[in-house]
Structure 1
Amino acid sequence: MSAIQYEKNADNIIILTLDSPNQSANTMNGDFRVALENIVSKLKSETDITGIIFKSAKKTFFAGGDLDELIQAQPEQAPEFFDMIQKMKAEFRYIETLGVPVVAALNGTALGGGWEIALGCHYRIALNDPKAKFGLPEVTLGLLPGGGGVVRMVRLLGLQNAFPFLMEGKQFGVDKAKSLGLIHDTAETAEELFDKAIAWVKANPKSQQPFDVKGYKIPGGTPSSPQVAQVLAIAPAMLRDKTKGCYPAPEAIMAAAVEGAQVDVDTALTIESRYFTFLATGQISKNMIGTFWHGLNAIKSGASRPKDVAKWQATKVGVLGAGMMGAGIAYSTAIKGIQVVLKDISTEAAEKGKAYSQKLLDKRVSQGRMTAEKRDQILSLIHPTASNEDLQGCDLIIEAVFENQELKAKVTQEAEQHLVNGGVMASNTSTLPISGLAKASKDAKNFIGLHFFSPVDKMQLVEIIKGKETSAETLAKAYDYVQQIGKTPIVVNDSRGFFTSRVFGTFVQEGLRLLAEGVNPARIEMAALKAGMPVGPLAIQDEVSLTLSEHVTSETRKALQAEGKDLPRSGADDVIHKMIHEFDRKGKAAGAGFYDYPEGGKKHLWDGLSHWKKDTQISEQEMIDRFLFVQSLDTLLCLEEGVLESVVDGNVGSIFGIGFAPWTGGALQFLNQYGLEKALKRANELETQYGERFKAPDLLKQKAQSGEMIQ
């Protein structure tokens, strides 16, 4: 069966129905390209066409490019890849310039290549579906819209208006598309959608794209217009400040848009194809597609979930502790329609935790993103209390109290007796081993770790930690709950710090070690940003609080000593100790840390850090390597030790939990894309110079020797 069905009706209108065989959604794959070539060949043989309508046989209009194909495009295949893209675009351009009306009947979402097909039509009618999304999200996968999206969006909206949709991948619904003039009409039913498409074709026998009409001017002006030229003079610098040079896609999009706006449509399409080929055959898009598309989809489909356990839904969730974490968990649960009991030592403290949800929901109402009725309905699901009795009937209770084993044991024992039979008891700990915490539970097989990240309402990841006795049923229920509240679960095995806290610690510690070595603190922070980390290690340490880090290190040292092991002191420990006990600077919450926080002003590095400054000579690249290697080698060690069970969880967890440089595709993919032989050599060099924390795990040596990837 062809991916595009061709039908000519009694009015000589050609109806092209998009219907990719063996797929639930339409994509621009090999079948599609063959079908398009055949369609154009048929159209060339027709003599009496009155119009063309694109419609879809799937639930959505069109999903976009075939990412399984794109991830395989290699640099040596660039000429063939470029020719393939140019051929496909020429076929669309033939349809667009036939001189007959061309309509897109959009029955649902059209993203990426799907939106590019729609843009290639003269008139766009959409089904009035609030769930439908349109746009060009390619930049989020390290690509640009390569099917004419850059060229047509710029010509229809103007450079400045098109930039957010192209360079940030902003998606939009039917109403926004109408206000932009990108959707011309809407319909309430599929029948009306098709009838309106037919009617428009009949009413507009001679039609062409507005930008193909002689004398058409790009809205807002071309790059040579004084107003646009003024913006473009600073735009590249502003963009580089955002990307830090780690992301070639936004820069390529800006270049393709600006260059394309100065030439005719066909030349602009060629320019776009060149930039698209450069990105698609490059490594960064492969890193990002591998993790942000394939990796996240694997997790969504339950890659780390026990297969033989029935799907489960939480109906009543207890949250112990109404501080920032507990309040955030309560909000994230209630907003998905689940009843929540928010318990603290006093009703006043619990009410304060509920007020956090009120504040977030009020903001949504004020922005027009939610009705007051919906807000009140969500708030009514959160029951603040000081009584354990109110936890009766919970099928999941999450303890989110301070990181203290005795306190956690106490609240666990008080609360879990109120769980329903087979209910799950979870701890939102970031460092304490789950098997140790499970000792306080009456049934360790129903006990699990659910490590949320702060702020909970914004952070997508939840690290699920299996204790030694955690059952497959409990793991499956925890996985289902995390997905039920719209978050991304990764599954790890028990150990001190688990995966994310442990590896995150290596990044912060490396920054503190550099400071102890006498490196200028501003250079340390900038090197981390240029590595692709979202925030510098000193700024993050302030957010976490120096006292918490000191407490966790002290507890870890005590626990290891009890096992007959030791945690040697480092330059990082000395920095933390001096900051707290000599300079009384404990972090952002205390108003002073590595940064000063002037009231109403912008934070800036504290002048007193000159205490460590020796103007140590170290290159920026050396610091970047230290930041990325110390995290990726420890992540590989987590895989080798069995803390991590899958590469996907390691890559997704490192980006969404730690903020590891997204351009790399994750901490394990960083080593793959670096080249494992080269990575082994670099790790050895770093170990020789800086110590055992850079020691290459045996797994890296094995993979480098065998020529296999870490997968």
Structure 2
Amino acid sequence: MSTLRFELDAAGVALVSIDVVDRSMNVLTPALEAALAAAVERIAADASIKAAVITSAKSNAFLAGADLKELVSVYGQETLQQAYARSARLSGVFRRLETCGKPIAAAINGLALGGGLELALACHYRVLADDPKAVVGLPEVKVGLLPGAGGTQRLPRLIGIQQALPMLLNGAPVLPAQALELGIVHALAPADQLIARARDWVLANPVAQQPWDVKGFKVPGGVGCLAPHAVESFQAGTSRVARATQRNYPAPPAILACVFEGTQLPIDRALRLESKYFATLLCSPVCRNLMRTMFIQKEAADKLASRPAGVPKSTFTRIGVIGAGMMGAGIAYAAASAGIDVILLDATQELADRGKAYSVKALQRQLEKRATTQQRVNTTLSRILATTDYSHLRGCELVVEAVFEKREVKHDVIRKATALLGPSAIFASNTSTLPIGGLAEVHPRPEQFVGLHFFSPVEHMPLVEVIRGRSTSAATLAQALDFVSQLRKTPIVVNDSPGFFTSRVFGTYVDEGMAMLAEGIEPALIENAARMAGMPVGPLAVCDEVTIELQLKVHEQAVADGLNEKFQRLTAIDVVRKMVQEQGRVGRRGGGGFYDYPANERKRLWPGLRDLFAVREVQPEVEELRQRFLVIQALESARCVAEGVIDRPADADLGSILGIGYPAWAGGVLSFIDTIGAARFIADCRELARRYGQRFEPPADLVERAHRSALYHEETSGFTISIPQGDLEPIHGGQTG
């Protein structure tokens, strides 16, 4: 089936309309690439064709870039030469298009991303729909790549290196007005006039040539070391990239190098250089990991791949949130923003009102940024009723408790709430550590009890950990997933266990940092090594945020419950006791912990740490500490798989990145093991166990996997999607609980 429509009018103008079959949006498939190549040759060879206009037959997009499902399989399957040929083949088609001797215009009637913008840049004239949804950009850096069909060479030649580098390094799309201002497109027009405007131009310009093919062409603003912007663009730019990526992401430095070198070469040599850089990145594990976890598997999770089949879809209109602290207030804000009426309940009216004030402040910030309107602010706030009266919970389809992390307190609110709820309402706990099965014991219908573990700050954190208790029904699980989807968040599903998944893995991270402190390692070295591994916040700093005191309470609760020692957080308990019981330093909320928090100044490591935990004279290499942080979290995740806490490896990877900030370059905790190989990972674990203790011993399940050379991700599953749009923000985890 064809992916292009080809129509020739009486004036000899060919209208080439992209229409990739069986896709809601046009993406660059092998079939489309072949069709484009054939269309270009037809335009070049047929004397009756005087010019051409390229557009899309779909109204929602011009062309949305590459098919990641196809690209993700390259790592380990194709050689560098084969990957180079991929890039060079499409790049050659676009080069043939712009040098075919006939004027070609792009009528861009929707978003044009990645290869879509590269196709447009190869055209001699570009007119873009004057519609906020018709964004253009080169987001390849988000999946560990650089544009491989001319983007790193045509864009700088068109608008200058200084203007092009931010688009290439951030991957952020630009709106139509900005695209016109930058010079990426020549004109804007209403969608129904695009083709006519493009046709008029090609008829008025029978001889068309790209600027870079004109003798004497110079890149705007200059190129190379002597360009006025060279120090800022390349020297300072390299430092900024190194600081932002901790040298864990190869794409940004490759983009800088490709632009620096390529803009000093003739265009044809520059395009070959670009394909070489592209091939190197495409064959890297970082690229595969980013594509698989952050886009393909996240897309599957967002489409509720774990939702039980056969359960009718639920839409929530009224929910209750018990506990108006930071977590409860954040949940209420997220729900109200999604159009849901919320009963926000606490022990006193002052506490309930304070919880609603959280939404007031959050909406005011949105208003100041012009990201919302006063009418929307008023509407959202009108959906939140702050109260102390449990009777308002009548009619709620779902209630989420977010009260103090103590079993007796939670049992009390569960009893009060369920006495008023209808028989179909479900109840959810936001607990981060207490087993769901134990909490559900006081619910009259435990099959309607589920865990919904949000992360702080709720409005910014994309993840919700959905915990299936031993009695949770398939219908309740499906409803919980529907609720998370309604909040426009990404769910993972885990089975009931002390600490579930994210809290268990997070615990190993902060405990390892505190264990290093007890070993006499410099506190600053600990924090820096963690950030160099790709963690957004050092373990001591994040422990301060969630409070050191909480670590002690988790330990005490585990001991009181008679849990196995592996759940008692013994690795760092002596450090916790010293800080909390001996020094009275409980964390940021208590005025100080591992850090001091002076008024109107940046936080700084508490100087007393070096005396309390005697710093040894010889310090380890940073790479050793970096490895410990990455390995201990991956190892705990492998244990969760072995124990049946996690069923889907994709959920473990997404949970670790979106929930607790495990580095995206690794693809998540289980992808990290797959990337380096189970056999090597086990060898690393055993060496670490010899040096640092039993906590690094690998589980039998992982050893057995290594014997079979088995991977956690045997194949890439998910949905076919295009290269994403949106601002490239650091992928950080939040605070649990």
Fold conserved (TM > 0.5)? yes
Spell out the pairing of 1:571-610 with structure 2 (5 A cutoff): 572-610=572-610
CA contact (8 A) 1:316 1:395 kept: yes
Decide which moves more: 308-317 or 616-625. Answer: 616-625
Corresponding residue for 1:338? 340
Tell which deviates more after alignment, 648-657 or 12-21: 12-21
What is the identity, as a one-letter code, of the residue corresponding to 1:508? V
Residue aligning to 1:632: 634
Q: Aligned partners of 2:618 and 2:517: how far apart in 1?
A: 10
SS of the aligned residue for 1:349 comes to helix
Aligned to 1:684: 686
How far off is 1:378 after superposition? 1.4
The match for 2:73 is 72
**Shift, 1:213, TM fit:** 4.2
| Amino acid in the other structure paired with 2:194 | L
**Offset at residue 121 of structure 1 (A):** 2.1
Q: Are the counterparts in 1 of residues 43 and 52 from structure 2 also a CA contact under 8 Å?
A: no
Q: Which residue is 1:218 aligned to? A: 219
Partner of 1:33: 33
* 1:360-509 to 2 correspondences below 5 Å: 360-509=362-511
User: Within 5 A, what are the aligned runs for 1:634-649?
Assistant: 634-649=636-651
* Cα distance in structure 2, aligned partners of 1:93 and 1:565: 64
Provide the alpha-carbon RMSD of the alignment: 2.0
CA contact (8 A) 2:221 2:227 kept: no
Question: Residue in 2 aligned with 1:200?
Answer: 201
* Structure with larger RCO (C-alpha < 8 A, sep 6+): 2
How far apart in 2 are the matches of 1:130 and 1:683? 51
- The offset of 1:211, in angstroms, is 4.2
Query: Are 2:513 and 1:511 aligned?
Result: yes
**Structure 2 Cα separation of the partners of residues 292 and 199 of structure 1:** 43
1: CA distance, partners of 2:548 / 2:8: 72
Q: Give the Å deviation of 1:451.
A: 0.3
Quote the residue 1:107 is aligned against. Answer: 109
For 2:118 and 2:31, the matched residues in 1 are separated by 18
Overall identity of the aligned pairs, in % = 43
Distance 1:627 1:102 in 2: 54
Residues in 2 aligned to 1:6 and 1:567: alpha-carbon distance in whole angstroms: 65
Between the aligned partners of 1:315 and 1:144, the Cα distance in structure 2 is: 44
Change (3 A) 1:439 1:302: same
Aligned partner of residue 239 in structure 2, secondary structure: helix
Residue number in structure 1 paired with 2:732: none
Supply the distance in 2 between the matched residues of 1:556 and 1:411 (Cα, whole angstroms).
22
**Aligned with 1:221: secondary structure?**
coil
For residues 685 and 706 of structure 1, the distance between their equivalents in structure 2, rounded to whole angstroms, comes to 21
Matched, 1:657 2:650: no
Aligned residues: 708
Q: Does 1:121 align with 2:128?
A: no
The code of the aligned residue for 2:63 comes to: F
2:87 corresponding residue in structure 1: 85
- Identify the residue that residue 275 of structure 1 maps to in structure 2: 277
Give a deviation string over 1:615-653, Cα, whole Å, max 9, x none: 344222221221111111110111111111111101111
**SS of residue matched to 1:7:** strand
The separation in 2 between residues aligned to 1:144 and 1:556, in whole angstroms, is 48
Aligned twin of 1:136: 138
User: 1:306 aligns to what SS in structure 2?
Assistant: coil
SS at match of 1:538: helix
The change in CA–CA distance for 1:670 and 1:258 in structure 2 (over 3 A counts) is same
CA shift digits 1:389-437 (9 cap, x unpaired) = 2222111111111101111111122223333431111111111111111
Give the structure-1-normalised TM-score.
Answer: 0.96
Corresponding residue number in structure 2 for 1:164? 166
Contact 2:555 2:569 in 1 (8 A): no
Instruction: Give how far 1:159 is off.
Output: 2.1
C-alpha distance in structure 2 between counterparts of 1:358 and 1:213, whole Å: 58
Task: Provide closer, same or farther for how the CA distance between residues 362 and 226 of structure 1 changes in structure 2, counting only shifts above 3 A.
Answer: same
1:329 equivalent in alignment to 2:331: yes
Q: For 1:345, what is the secondary structure of its paired residue?
A: coil
- For residue 356 of structure 1, report the CA deviation from its aligned partner: 1.4
Give the match's secondary structure for 1:227.
coil
Question: Which residue of 526, 529, 535 corresponds with 1:527?
Answer: 529
Deviation per residue, 1:189-208 (Å, 9 max, x gap): 4x323222222323333333
Go from structure 1 to structure 2 and tell me whether the alpha carbon gap of 1:222 and 1:534 turns closer, same or farther (over 3 Å shift). Answer: same
Farther-moved stretch of structure 1 (17-26 vs 525-534): 17-26
Q: Identify which range, 492-501 or 387-396, moves more after superposition.
A: 387-396
Maintained 8 Å contact 1:332/1:456: yes
Q: SS of the residue aligned with 2:528?
A: helix
Q: 1:235 aligns with which of 234, 237, 244?
A: 237
Residue pair 2:638, 2:670 contacting (<8 A) in 1 also: yes
**Aligned with residue 543 of structure 1, among 539, 542, 545:** 545
Unmatched segments (≥5 aa) in structure 1: none
- Go from structure 1 to structure 2 and tell me whether the alpha carbon gap of 1:541 and 1:108 turns closer, same or farther (over 3 Å shift): same
8 Å CA contact retained: 1:460, 1:487: yes
Say which SS state the counterpart of residue 476 (structure 1) adopts: helix
Matched with 1:53 is 53
Supply the AA of the counterpart residue of 2:309.
K
Q: Deviations over 1:268-317 (max 9, x none)?
A: 22221111110001111011111012211221222211011111111111
State the 1:508 CA deviation.
0.6
Q: Distance in 2 between matches of 1:97 and 1:379?
A: 58
Which amino acid in structure 1 is aligned with residue 471 of structure 2? Answer: E
Residue deviations 1:219-258, cap 9 Å, x none? 4332334531221222212211111111101111111122
SS of the equivalent of 1:422 reads coil
1:143-167 deviation per Cα after TM superposition (whole angstroms, max 9, x unaligned): 1111111222222332232222211
Match of 1:21 in 2: 21
- 8 Å CA contact 1:520–1:616 kept in 2: the answer is no
Distance 1:432 1:84 in 2: 51
* Gap change, CA 1:584 and 1:161, over 3 Å in 2: farther
Pair 418,104 (structure 1): closer, same or farther in 2 beyond 3 Å: farther
Among candidates 605, 620, 623, match of residue 622 of structure 2: 620
Stretch of structure 1 that moved more, 143-152 or 464-473: 143-152
Q: Does 1:3 align with 2:3?
A: yes
The 3-state SS of whatever aligns with 2:222 is coil
Whole-angstrom CA distance in 1 between matches of 2:187 and 2:419: 58
Aligned to 1:37, the other structure's residue is in SS state helix
Deviations 1:91-118 (A, max 9, x none): 2112123343322222222221112212
Mark the CA change 1:259 to 1:632 in structure 2 (over 3 Å): closer, same or farther: same
Unaligned runs of 5+ in 2: 714-737
Shift in Å at residue 518 of structure 1? 0.7
- Please report the TM-score for the alignment, with normalisation by the length of structure 2: 0.92
